[in-house]
Every structure is written in structure tokens, then in C-alpha cells.
A and B are shown apart, each in its own frame.
Chain A
Amino acid sequence: MEMDWIWGLVGGGLIGLGGAVFLLGNGRIMGASGIIGGLVDGSGLSNAAERLVFLLGVVALPLLLRPLLSETPNTHLTSNIWVIVIAGLLVGTGTRIANGCTSGHGVCGISRLSLRGLVATVFYILAGGITLVLFRHLWGMI
């Protein structure tokens, strides 16, 4: 637990490095929801191969790293199917309507001093915080 912040910084640095490679190499913004969403709604089919290969990297490298980790990563995802489905629907819909998620607005937006990125980040963190207050502390549902 005491080491978590160091791993946070190291992992965050790798995330930022990935974004830097995608930007300086391919001239593209590394936003997960945009990369996936463009494949889903057809708006990004002109560079579908680049998107698919990026997503392959996202899945494959954690898989390859697994044997090197001291313990099997646990996501602690809730087993409540309804919570999973409703959360997934909200995440998919919301990120596409806002045109970005934690990686696009948060990492790539704030780092270019974009006010839109900062405002989006403030609102999704506030909404997430209020959700925890209501659904965990008040209603005890999650």
C-alpha cells in the first residue's frame, strides 16, 4: 500500500509515454473512448487498422507482463450484473457525447492546457464522487 504512489507515478509515466509516441509518431491523440468509439460508430473506419493495432497493444502487453508480476492482478470488479451493465452503458454513452474520457480529456487534454479537457475532468470526477456518496454511503448499493 505504501508503494502504491510510486507504482502510480511509474505507470502514469508509461501511459504518458504511450500518448507521446502516438502523438509525435502518428500525430494522433491517445483517447481510449475515441479510438474504440470510432470503430463502433463507423466514424474512424478510414484508419481502422491503426486503431485495432493500438487496442491489440493495450490488451497484449499486460498479458505478456503477467508472469513477471508477483501476484495475479485482481480488478475487484463487482459481481452485480446490473451495476456492470448500467455502468458500461453510461461510460460508453457519456464518453462519446463528451468526446473523451480519462485518457483523452484527462491526460491528453489537460497536458495541452485545454480548458475543455480540464472542465470535462472536473465534471466526471465530481459526478463519480457524488455517485460514491449516494450509492455507497447513502444507499449501500455498491
Chain B
Amino acid sequence: MQRLFLALLAGGLFGSGLLLSGMTDTTKVQGWLDVFGDWDPTLAFVMGGAIVPMFIAWRLTKGRRPLVGGSFPAPARPEMDHRLITGSVLFGIGWGLAGLCPGPAIASLSYNGTGGLLFIGAMLLGMVVAPFVGRQLDRLATKG
């Protein structure tokens, strides 16, 4: 029960942070990416504002256990692979085209209209086919 309450709280903070920071506004996201247009630096402040508490939180995990028990995530893997790069490039293209990434797409569900729903539907479909696309990319990578 405590686990679910904390998940609800975390989700609520995440969603309201996305809304208040302006990150559910696609013009602000595209404005950040559009360095040759009317450049909007807001996203950098959002990232900076979010990384500070998270940096402290990662420090606090040392020598402790999660509140509800269990263990903290394994240390970050050091190695790079082609999936990290190709996946991020595919994501970046979609992010640039619509100005939406997964978090804001969900956070704006209640006020993003049918277009927002359509985006989420397409995103979920993309997640369903991702394992197959990933395997095709693996095949290409081993050939190359």
C-alpha cells in the first residue's frame, strides 16, 4: 500500500512539474530544439531544476535501502551499444516532429484533445513493435 501511495505521489509530482514548467507545450519543446528559429531556453532550466534533486537522491542511496524495502537499481552500465544511439536518434526525430515525449504526452492527456490521444496510441504501437525493430537493427549492426 505504501509502495502504491509513493508511486502516486511521484507520478503526481512528475505530472504537475511537466505542466508548470511548460514542457507539455509543444512550442516550448520545439523552441528549444529550433536553434535557428526563435530559440527558447526553458527546457535547459527544467532539466537543470530536475537534475539537482535527483543528484542528491542518488547520493542518498549510498549505504541505504529503499523505504519500502528491496534494493536500489544496479549501477549504470558503462558500455555503449548501437541500440542506445539508433534508438535515441529515432526518438529525437519523433520528439522534434511533434514536440512531445512520453512523459508530457501522458501528463497532457486531460487537455491535449484527440491529437494527444492519437499520439499516445501511435506511441504505444511503437512500443509494441520496438522489440522487432530492435532485432532488425541488431542484424544490421552485426552485418555492418
- Which residues of A are at the interface with B, using a C-beta cutoff of 8 A? 4-5, 7-30, 32-33, 36-37, 40-41, 49-51, 53-63, 65-66, 72-79, 81, 83-99, 101-103, 105-117, 119-121, 123-133, 135-137, 142
- Cβ contact of B16, chosen from A20, A65, A110, cutoff 8 A: A65
Q: Which chain A positions have C-beta within 8 A of B33?
A: 125, 128-129, 131-132
Would B67 and A24 count as touching, CB distance under 8 A? Answer: yes
Closest Cβ of chain A to B101, distance in Å, is: 5
A88 touches B123 (CB 8 A): yes
Check A26 against B68 for contact (C-beta < 8 Å): yes
By the criterion of a CB under 8 Å from any partner CB, how many residues of chain B are at the interface?
A: 116
Decide if B63 is an interface residue (CB 8 Å cutoff).
Answer: no
**B92, closest chain A residue (CB):** A127
B57 at interface by CB-CB < 8 Å: yes
Which B residues are CB-close (under 8 A) to A61? Answer: 11-13, 15-16
Which of B34, B49, B105 touches A8 (beta carbons < 8 Å)?
A: B49
Residues of A within 8 A of B9 (CB): 18, 21, 25, 57
The answer to whether A41 and B127 have CB atoms under 8 Å apart is yes
Q: Residues of A contacting B30 with CB < 8 Å?
A: 132, 136, 142
Task: Name B122's contact: one of A4, A85, A110, A124 (CB within 8 Å).
Answer: A85
Q: Name which residue of chain B comes closest to A103, CB basis.
A: B103
Residues of B within 8 A of A72 (CB): 111
Q: Is the CB of A54 within 8 A of B87?
A: no
Note all chain B residues with C-beta closer than 8 A to A20.
Answer: 53-54, 56-57
Distance to closest chain A CB from B136 (angstroms)? 10
Extra contacts besides A32-B14, A95-B91, A98-B87 (6): CB < 8 Å: A36-B106, A58-B15, A58-B107, A96-B126, A112-B58, A129-B96
- Can you sample 17 A-B contacts with CB below 8 Å? A11-B22, A16-B49, A22-B6, A24-B60, A32-B101, A40-B124, A40-B128, A62-B110, A76-B99, A84-B98, A84-B122, A87-B95, A90-B93, A111-B50, A127-B88, A128-B95, A136-B37
Is the CB–CB distance between B115 and A77 below 8 Å?
yes
The proximity string for B residues 100-144 relative to A, scoring 1 for CB distances below 8 Å and 0 otherwise, is 111101111111110110111111111111110110010000000
The verdict on A101 contacting B133 (CB below 8 Å), with A11-B46, A21-B6, A30-B14 known, is no
Inter-chain contacts of B26 with A (CB < 8 A): 75-78
Complex Cα distance A39/B72, Å? Answer: 21
